[in-house]
Amino acid sequence: MFLNTGLKITTLMMVFSLSACIEPTATQQPEAVSVPASAAVDEISTAPNPIVTTNFGGGSFRWSATAGFVYRYTAIERNGEVFICGVNARRGTGILNRFSREALQQASVVSNGRTILRNLTFFNTVSNANWGTRLMGTETACKSTGRSVDDVPLGSISIHFREGRYNL
C-alpha cells in the first residue's frame, strides 16, 4: 500500500521527463509576417516603446487546447540602428508556460535570409486577457540588433521559430 521514497521519486521523475518533450500543433505554426518599413517608421518611430497596431507582424503557438502564446512585433529605426520591438501573452501554467519561454528563447530575427538577432525573451509579456484582441494597444519592449538601417531594410524582417519538438 505504501510506496517507498525512492519509488515515489522515480515515478515523479518519469512523469516529468515524459511531459518535458512537446511539439506545438502543426496548424498553429507562427506566421512570419514582414512589417512594411514605411508604416513602421512613420507611425511609431517617435514612441520610446511602440504600441501594437495593425501594422505589426505576429503569430501564435499552441501547445494544447488551452496553452500557448501569441506574439506581435515590428522593426523600427532609432539613431540609425534597427531595433526589434515585441510583446507576447502566454496561456498555460507550469511546464507549458516554460515551453512558451523556450520557444521565444530559441527564436531568431531574420533579414534577407540572414540572422540578425537571437533570443526574443526580451519581448514584453502582458496578461493573457489581451489574447482576444491579438495584443492590440499593448506596449512593446525593444532591443537593438546592432545593425545599421543602411545594412538591414526594415521591410525585410521576419521572425523564425525552431521547428520540431521543444525539450525542457
Q: pLDDT of 69-89, one tens digit each?
A: 999 999 999 999 999 999 999
Distance CA 154, CA 131 (A): 26
Q: pLDDT tens across 84-118, in order?
A: 999 999 998 888 889 899 999 999 999 999 999 99
Q: Which three cell numbers stand for residue 135?
A: 495584443
0.75 exceeded by pTM: no
Domain boundaries defined on the chain = 22-167
* CA dist., res. 59 & res. 168, Å (int): 22
